[in-house]
Amino acid sequence: MDKFKEKMDKMASEGFSDSEIGEKFLDEMGDFCICPDCPMFNQCAQEKYEGLYCMLGESTCNLEEDDCICPECEVAENLELKNDLFCIKGSEKELRGL
Ligand code: SF4
Ligand code: SF4
């Protein structure tokens, strides 16, 4: 089992809801998200303090597809994420069908 699945299973077994899990990830990892450095991150996303799409799901801003820099991010590495382009495709959890 990879680290993402392990962590999600652990939190689910501890009774955390999806929104609580999102908040926990935001607290723990929000500062490590490099989305603001990505060519796709626009002014709308900046004004809404968006980011951590891998955990929180897709953007509400209209982001134009370009090269995703998620594979260079510590969060992706530490959690062994398998996907990218989370801001337009949805969260890792959704993309894995969990
Ligand atoms: S993997 Fe991508 S969306 Fe997730 S924290 Fe890193 S840069 Fe942000
Ligand atoms: S999820 Fe990937 S493509 Fe989207 S803003 Fe973050 S780094 Fe860029």
List Cβ neighbours of 50 (8 Å cut-off, separation of 6 or more). Answer: 35, 41, 59, 60, 61, 87
Each residue of 36-61: b (16+ CB within 10 Å) or e?
Answer: eebebbbeebeeeebbbbbbbbbbeb
The protein residue with its alpha carbon nearest to ligand 1, atom 5, reads: 33
Which ligand has an atom closest to residue 87 CA? 2
Q: Model confidence over 49-93: pLDDT tens digits?
A: 999 999 999 999 999 999 999 999 999 999 999 999 999 999 999
Q: Does 70 sit in the ligand 2 pocket, CB within 6 Å?
A: yes
Q: Which pTM does this prediction carry? A: 0.96
Q: Does 52 sit in the ligand 2 pocket, CB within 6 Å?
A: no
Q: Model confidence over 43-58: pLDDT tens digits?
A: 999 999 999 999 999 9
* In the chain, where the domains are located: 3-12+25-95
Q: How far apart are CA 10 and CA 41, in angstroms?
A: 31
Q: Does 35 sit in the ligand 2 pocket, CB within 6 Å?
A: yes
Question: What's the pLDDT at 92?
Answer: 97
Residue range 33-42: mean pLDDT, rounded: 98
Nearest atom within ligand 1 for CA of residue 81: 1
CA nearest 74: which of 37, 47, 46? Answer: 37
Is residue 18 scored above 90 in pLDDT? no
Q: How far apart are CA 89 and CA 5, in angstroms?
A: 19
Cα 93 to chain center, whole Å?
A: 9
Question: What's the pLDDT at 80?
Answer: 97
pLDDT-derived band at 26 (thresholds 50, 70, 90) equals: very high
Question: What's the pLDDT at 94?
Answer: 96
